[in-house]
Amino acid sequence: MKRLRKIGWMLASLLLALMQTHCDSLGIDQDLSDCAAPKKDFRINYELWLVTNLETELRTVLDADIDVVAQNELRNSLKGIFTDFAEDVDLSFYDVNLANDILLHREEKTMDASERSYALSLSARQYHHLAIANIKKNMVAELLNNDFCHTSTLKQQEGTDGVVPSQQTGLFTARLPIDIVGDQNQTFNVSLYMANCAAALLLDKGTAPIASIDVKTKGFAVAFEISDSIYRFVDDSPLVQANSIPLPSENQYLFCSVNFPSWNPLDTRMVIDSQDPFMVPDADKSLWQYQVDVTLTDGSVTRSVLGMQKPILAGQLVILKAFVKDDGTVQPVTSVSAGASVAVDWTVIKYPDIPLGR
C-alpha cells in the first residue's frame, strides 16, 4: 500500500512538472494559475505639436524691408530646429511603481521623412512613458540616467574653457501614463513639446571699421529632467557659442544660438506644459545675456554685454536687433516693432560682466 502511494505521488509530481514545462514554453506565470496572454502589436501614433512663436517673432521683429533677407535666412537656418517632424525617437516605458520606476522596455527608431507612427509590441500592463525626439544628431545634449524614470535627463556637455557649442537639433519630449489593456489594438496620440529654444542677434554694421565679430550667449539651464519637467542650473552657466548665419549684405551680421531655456523666476517646473509660455512679467535683474566681442581693423576689441530681463522659454525664439557704433560698442535698437515682442533692458559695458538674476 505504501509502495502504491509512493508511485502515485511520483506520477503526480511528474505530471505537475510537465504542466509547468508546457506553460513555461508558452510564457505562463510561475504560479501556474493561468497562461499569460502573448504579446500583441499596438500602434503608437506620435505627432509633434510645437509650442513656439517662431513665425510671430520673425514677422514682428524683422518686419522692415531691409530685414526680409535676414528673416528668410534665419528661418532657413532654424527649419531643422523648429521642425514638424522627428528624425529619430527614443521611447522608454517604465514601471508605474514610484518606489522603483525601472525601465521595462525601450525602443530607438530613425523615422522616415514624414513618418509619424509605427507599430510597437508591448506586454499588457500600465506604464509611465517618456518620449524623446531628435536626440541622435544634437551633438551637445545627451540622454543620461534613463534606467529609471525619475532620473532620465537630457544633459548638456561640459564644453571647453567654459564654452559649449550651439545645439544642432530641436529637442522634443513627452511624458504620460499608458495603459495597454491586452485584448485589443490601441492608438495613442503623443504630443511632444520642445525642450530647447533659440536666441538670435541681428547687427547693423553702420560705419564701424569691423574686422570680426564673435557672439556668445549665457544664462541657460545645463540639464532637463524629463519626468518632472525640471530644468537644472549651475551658479556659473557656460557660454554658448552662437553660430554666424551668412547674409548677402555686407552691412548686416546675423548670429543665433540654440540652447536650453533661461531661468524663469515664476515657473521652472512646468515650462513644457505651459499653454502660453511667452506672456511673463519682467524680472528685476538680467536673466540671460548676449556677449558680443567686436574687433576693429585697428586691432582693438570691445566687449558689449546685453542683459535680457525677460526669460527665454522652451519652444521660443527671441530676436534682438542692434547696431555697432564706430568705437565697436553694440547698442540695441529701440523701436516699436522690437518693443512689441521682446522686453529688452540692456546694459552696455566694456569687458566687465553683468551678474545674472537668480
Residue 358 lies in a domain: no
Pairing of strands 197-204, 317-324: parallel
Cα angle 324-76-133, degrees, rounded to a multiple of 5: 115
N- to C-terminal Cα distance for the chain? 87
CATH classification at residue 51: 2.60.40.2100
DSSP for residue 284: S
In a domain, 19, yes or no: no
Tally of structural domains, the chain: 1
Domain holding 258, by residue range, is: 43-112+120-341
- Taking a C-beta distance cutoff of 8 angstroms, is the pair 277, 315 a contact? yes
What does the block give as the cell for 286? 538680467
DSSP one-letter code for 87: S
Residue 17 located in a structural domain: no
How far apart (Å, rounded) are the C-alpha atoms in residues 336 and 334? 7
151: helix, coil or strand?
helix
Q: How far is CA 223 from the centre of its chain?
A: 9
Rounded to the nearest 10 degrees, the angle between the axes of helix 68-78 and helix 54-61 is 160
Give me the torsion for CA of 143, 146, 149, 155, rounded to 10°.
-30
Q: Is residue 25 part of a domain?
A: no
pTM for the whole structure:
0.76
37 assigned to some structural domain: no
> Residue 76: which residues within 8 A CB-CB, separation 6 or more?
none
Asked whether residue 20 is assigned to any structural domain, the reply reads no
Question: Which pLDDT value is given to residue 153?
Answer: 97
Residue 303 in grid coordinates: 566687449
Tell whether 4 is covered by a domain: no
Mind listing the pLDDT tens digit of every residue in the chain (358 residues)?
444 333 333 333 323 333 343 434 333 344 434 444 455 555 555 555 545 557 777 777 776 666 888 989 999 999 889 987 888 999 999 999 888 999 999 999 887 766 667 777 788 899 999 999 999 999 999 999 999 999 999 999 988 889 999 999 999 999 999 998 877 778 888 888 899 999 999 999 989 999 999 999 999 999 999 999 999 988 888 999 999 999 998 899 999 999 999 988 776 453 333 333 333 344 446 789 999 999 999 999 999 888 888 889 898 898 999 999 998 999 888 432 222 222 233 344 443 344 454 4
Beta-sheet pairing, 103-110 with 330-332: unpaired
Check if the beta carbon of residue 276 is closer than 8 Å to that of residue 51.
no
67 located within any domain: yes
